[in-house]
Structure formats: C-alpha cells, structure tokens
Amino acid sequence: MASIKQLSDRKYKITISNGYRTDGRKICKAKTIQVPDSVPKRGVEQYVYHEAERLERLFKQGYSEDAEMTFETYARGWLERQTKYAPGTIAFYRRSLETVFPEIGAIKLNRLRPIALENLLAKLRKRTYRGKPIKEKTVQKYLTVVSAVLSDAKRNEIIEKNPARMIDLPDAERKAQEIPTMEEMQKFLSALCYEEPVFQLFYFLAINTGMRRGELCALRWSDVIVTGSYEGYIIVRHSRSTVSGEGVQEGTTKNGRTRTVSMNEEMFSLLRGFCYRKMRLRDENGIPFPEYIFTKDDGTPIHPDTFSKHLKALFAEIGLPKTYHLHTLRHFFVSTLLHEGVDKNTVADLAGHGDTSFLERTYCHPQMQLKQEAAKRMSNSLFATPNPELLVS
C-alpha cells in the first residue's frame, strides 16, 4: 500500500513499499507531487489517491526503479542478451550504439524524450564519410538501433512509450538494387565454366539459392541432405562473417533462423562432383575430409573476402558493371523468382527474411527488359484497333 503524507495545501509525499532487500531493508520509492490549481478543492483528495495508485502500479511493475537506469547502461545489457543474431549484425549494433552514447547515453530511460533523439539525428546528419555528408538512410539506421533498445525496455515494462517511434522522419532516398539481365547472367554462367571448381560451386549456389556470403562460407557437408537420386535439400544454419577487429566469426544466420532450400539437379551434380574431389584429396594425399564445404586443398576454410574479391575481378573481366558484387547474385535470385510468379511468402522464406515487407521494399525492382515488355503490352492493348481520332494530330 502507498503511504501519503500531506506537506502543504496542495503538496503531498507518496511513499511506496515493494518488498525487502536481501539485507532486510525495505524497498521503497518516494515522490512528492503538486496538485495542479486546476483541480478543485473538493477533488484534491481523489486526485492524490489516484496518483498514488498510478505510482504504486508503475513501481511494482518496474517502471520507476529500472527507468532510472541510463540509456547506455540498459543498451549495453541489451547487447549482451542478443545471442540469436549473426556476429556481423551484433557488431553493427555495437558500432551504432557507441556512436550515439556520447549524445544520449547518460540520459535516464524515463527522461529520454523525442526532442533528445531529434537533436541526436541533427548531429548525425553533420557527420561525414570520406569527405561527404552521410546519407539520410544511414542516419536513420542509427535511430533504428536506438528504437530496438527502447522497444525492448517498453516490452519489459520499464518505460511506457518508445520515444523513437514518435519522431517524424524525412523520406530517405532508397537506392534501387541493380538486377542483372538474363543475358548478363548467361554471360556470367558461361565464364564460370572456366573457373576453379570451388568458385564454380560457390557462385552457382549463390545464384540458385540466394544464400548470403556468410551462409555459404559456413555450409558444412552435414548440412546437405540427400533424399534420392539427384534430389535433396540444404539446411542453412550458420553464417561466417568478417567482424572488424575480430576477424572471421561464426554464428547464426542474420535473423537467427534456420531454413532449408531445395537442390535442383545441376546443384546436386556440382556438389557431388566437389565432394568426390575432396575424397580424392583425402585418399591420395592423406588430407582429412573437411567439415566445411568451401575449403582450401589443405582443408582450412576459405576467407569470405576471397569470394567477393574474385567475383569482382571476374565481373570486370567479362565486362559487367563495376557496381555488381556478390550480393547482386542474391538480388537476381529473389527478383527472378518474383517475376516468375513464385509467391512472396515462399520467396521470403527461401531468402531468409522474417516477412515480405523488407523483400518488397528491397527486391521488387522490375528489370528494364520486363519494363519494356510491359510498355509493349500496354501499347498493344491500346492500339490493337487504331482509333483514327486519337491518331490525328
């Protein structure tokens, strides 16, 4: 029960008890309130009791005690609890928070207001990268991480509202992902025939499964499940990421979820041939059969950056745009499935997205060829039977 002590006509001290500490002392919280002048004299007592009930409810649910914690203290604890994400994702969260701590880290959770976050964003917009102002999209990524921390505090009933959700943000320019045309991809596949088997398999799987670089690098032979002749599937469980200052780290997939992708006959054949090659190395040179699929001849895993750099060189060699990179193969996979009529939920599941919203924002970019076909279809529909009046200038 709350204890109420009147200090003056409209000033009251409310003390709330919530159990005992390990040393036997009571856990108490006190707050002095001033009844507004707008409350009539006959309503003062009701106002005070109502406020006492509200404070008691908040204190016993944790708002009052834990909300005194600073944003930095809570955010560091939040980071330690994020075990389901890939190491690269955790590293991004940590870098982002270290950037915002100097501005809002010392503010108590229950004192953090939207204006403080707006001031943070204003300062972030003044930052530069390689001599140029950082983009609005990057600025808003910092806020997204801050919002994730505050949402966790709200979920744990430490704060009542997430102030990051109250900010009116300007539209951020979204860069449309470049999707290779089918002709460009055929050209790439032709060039791939002359590459070393390890690169052939890696890039072919990237095209046909949409797996991320880290997921491919973390594939083990035990993740390949054979169900019949030229039939089977691959379980995507882990990711190997390059973390700044820490080297290559292995953890879960980006969203912490395991998924499966089916193998077509071509994928199955390449995997089987690559497996036979590793078995020959084992039998002829005494090299143990490796745990991971993408390894050097001595059985050690290949660094993820090797595949990115090699692909950039290959793209340049065959005349594909310099802006293409390893993730471009993933964009091609997702966009091709969407344009072939595969439903969005299936595509999102294959690509490892939690829902279709991110997929729709990022990948649903019709290729130019399809745009031209759409224009032709519209023209054919409109002008299948020419209208003389419409054609007269």
pLDDT at 366: 52
Contact 14, 2 (CB under 8 A): yes
- Taking only the tens place, the pLDDT of each residue in 250-309 is 888 887 889 999 988 899 999 999 999 999 988 988 888 999 999 998 889 999 999 999
More confident residue, 244 or 71: 71
Contact 158, 78 (CB under 8 A): no
**At residue 62, does pLDDT exceed 60?**
no
Q: What is the CA radius of gyration of the chain?
A: 29
Distance CA 286, CA 292 (A): 17
Superfamily covering domain 182-369:
Intergrase catalytic core (1.10.443.10)
- 235: which strand partners? 260
- 13: which strand partners? 5, 32
* Residue 34: Cβ-neighbour burial (10 angstroms; 0-12, 13-18, 19+): exposed
Provide the token pair at 351. 């690509």
Distance CA 29, CA 45 (A): 21
Nearest to 338 by CA among 217, 186, 179, 231: 179
pTM beyond cutoff 0.75: no
Q: Give the contacts of 235 (CB within 8 A, at least 6 positions apart).
A: 223, 225, 258, 259, 260
- Taking only the tens place, the pLDDT of each residue in 15-60 is 888 777 667 777 788 889 999 998 998 899 999 998 888 878 766 6
- Taking only the tens place, the pLDDT of each residue in 335-388 is 888 888 888 888 888 888 877 777 766 665 555 556 666 777 776 766 665 555
- Taking only the tens place, the pLDDT of each residue in 123-132 is 999 998 888 8
**Mean pLDDT, range 217-228, rounded to an integer:** 93
Binning pLDDT at 50, 70 and 90, where does residue 393 land? very low
Q: What is the dihedral of CA 141, 147, 151, 152, to 10 degrees?
A: 70
* Residue 61: Cβ-neighbour burial (10 angstroms; 0-12, 13-18, 19+): middle
Domain 71-166 matches domain 182-369 at the CATH topology level: no
- For 64, how many CA atoms within 13 A lie in the half-sphere containing its CB? 18
Architecture of domain 71-166: Orthogonal Bundle (1.10)
Q: Give the contacts of 96 (CB within 8 A, at least 6 positions apart).
A: 141, 142, 145, 146
Q: Where are the domains of the chain?
A: 2-61, 71-166, 182-369
Binning pLDDT at 50, 70 and 90, where does residue 64 land? very low
Q: Give the contacts of 154 (CB within 8 A, at least 6 positions apart).
A: 160, 161, 162
Which residue is listed with tokens 């976050």?
117
Provide the token pair at 72. 């930095």
